[in-house]
Amino acid sequence: MAFELTGRIERHLASDLIAWLTTVTPAGRPAPRPVWFVWDGAAITIYSLNNGAKLRHIQANDQVAVHFNSSADGGDVVVISGRAERVPDAPPHLSQSAGLSTRGISMAPPSSARVSPVTPSPR
């Protein structure tokens, strides 16, 4: 099934600040983590601390899923499956360009990975 960008999926991609990226560990277990992201109309760029586990997982297995928080009543679930690759030249995330920090610790420019959507699974 090809990726179809529905209005609901586009709303999440355009307005959500955080998504959940699920990678696969070397032992084959799913590893979900909240991430900052940017949607450019074709791919999702995920931001990560340099040398983060999620980047190592992606280098070993590029199969990932990105999902968004549901509504308060459990509806509006969107899951996008895709393939990820590490990208060294992604634009800085808004929080980085604004000079914000995470938990009071200023971060070095983050590494990033680009996820190309394969199949959405809206529920």
Per-residue H/E/C for the chain: CCCCCCHHHHHHHHHCCEEEEEEECCCCCEEEEEEEEEECCCCEEEEECCCCHHHHHHHHCCEEEEECCCCCCCCCCCEEEEEEEEECCCCCCHHHHCCCCECCECCCCCEEEEEEEEEECCC
Per-residue confidence (pLDDT) for residue 100, from 0 to 100: 39
Q: Which domains does the chain have, with CATH numbers?
A: 7-120 (2.30.110.10)
68 pLDDT more than 90: yes
For residues 54-68, average pLDDT: 90
19 pLDDT more than 80: yes
- Confidence bin at 107 (pLDDT 50/70/90): very low
Per-residue confidence (pLDDT) for residue 91, from 0 to 100: 62
